[in-house]
Amino acid sequence: MNKRKLCGSSLLKRKRIMGHGNQIIGEDADSIHLPNPMIGFGAQADLCQIHRSLPEAATGPPYFYYENVALTPKGGWSTISHCLYDVKPEFVDSKYFCAAARKRGYVHNLPIKNRFSLVPLPPQTIFDEDEIPPESVRRYVLYECHKWNLVWVGKKTVAALQPDEVEMLLGFPRDHTRGISRTDRYKSLGNPFQIDTVAYHLSVLNDRFPNGINVLSLFSGIGGAEIALYRLGIPMKNVVSEEISEVSRNVASWWWEKTNQRGNLYHLADVQELNADRLEHYISSFGGFDLVIGGSPCYNLAGSNRHHRDGLEGKESSLFYDYFHILDLVKGIMARYD
């Protein structure tokens, strides 16, 4: 069955209101609203008062975590949410966790209480000047920084981001992508996870898997999910990592070896290899997956793409349906084993 049709057949249109101010979902499939400020389900201190109920289909193993750009074409997040068991998206701007402003949406069934951050927010901003510039100057400087991807590097100084600076902003280890061409470094750092933001969400798994975790990482890029888990101190027993780019797979493999990971890393180059038989083999071999994580390409969703912004029907971004299909297969196979 076509994966889009499989997703569509599982959607039940029903009128309901979901609280905490993040979105309203009704019969109109385009009615998900982005919050302002974009701080997820609330500030860290507020999460203890928030009760999050998940649809029954989203509960139980495995945990899943899906990321994509927040500003999608109309209806994008409604479709993503409905496909992923009607779980409400959590929209976050990473500027609240690091020096990089990246607006992203996350659909997951993780707990939200007792989260913790890896590091405090880096202090160096435009406001660190001895004399705060006028509002008009601040707006102009920030506009130019966004336009040309410039970073505040010192007093009255901005400059183009170098690959090692991009690594730092995104939370990757220094020289993580060193050893490949400069062009490939920029390309591989173009849209990976922002480690500090993702680790904040995944931090709830720290006490749940003290003896290690089995991970299925889809569209894994240069290993952002694995690095987030590593920095949280969660041992990885088995990681099945799917990534089409050989360059990115090599970067992730080098990191795995450099950090002396004790678990098993299985690399796949094509998401189509993860059929029911292959997934059942992995599940029977090491007892199932604890976490299915990934973010399919945003090329046809991102606002910066003015030529092929075809949403989830675009050639690259339609890979979301593969994420949904594989997650659904994993849940079904694991339910049989349980």
Q: Is 144 helix (H, G, I), strand (E, B) or coil?
A: helix
CA distance 254 to 248: 10
Q: What's residue 5's pLDDT? A: 59
Tens digits of residue pLDDT in 138-160: 889 888 887 887 877 777 788 88
Cis bond upstream, residue 37 (ω within 30):
yes
CA distance 81 to 83: 6
- Average pLDDT per block of 10 residues along the chain, 338 residues long: 58 39 39 84 69 89 94 86 94 88 94 85 51 83 82 76 90 95 94 94 96 97 97 97 96 97 96 96 96 82 55 71 95 91
- Who contacts 70 (Cβ-Cβ below 8 Å, separation ≥6)? 34, 38, 77, 91, 93, 103, 104, 105
Q: What's residue 124's pLDDT? A: 47
Q: What's residue 71's pLDDT? A: 87
Q: What's residue 133's pLDDT? A: 77
Q: Report yes or no: 266 and 238 within 8 Å, Cβ to Cβ.
A: yes
Residue 153: CB atoms within 10 Å: 13
Residue 258: CB atoms within 10 Å: 11
Q: What's residue 14's pLDDT? A: 35
Q: Are strands 90-93 and 150-154 parallel, antiparallel or unpaired?
A: unpaired
Q: 189: closest CA among 201, 203, 173, 205?
A: 173
CA distance 114 to 207: 10
- Who contacts 214 (Cβ-Cβ below 8 Å, separation ≥6)? 237, 238, 239, 286, 287, 288, 289, 290, 291
- CA 194 and chain centroid, separation: 8
CA distance 202 to 111: 9
Q: 41: closest CA among 60, 26, 20, 57?
A: 20
Tens digits of residue pLDDT in 267-281: 999 999 999 999 999
Give me the amino acid identity at 106.
Y
Q: Is 195 helix (H, G, I), strand (E, B) or coil?
A: helix
CA distance 167 to 161: 10
Enclosing H/E stretch for 150: strand 150-154
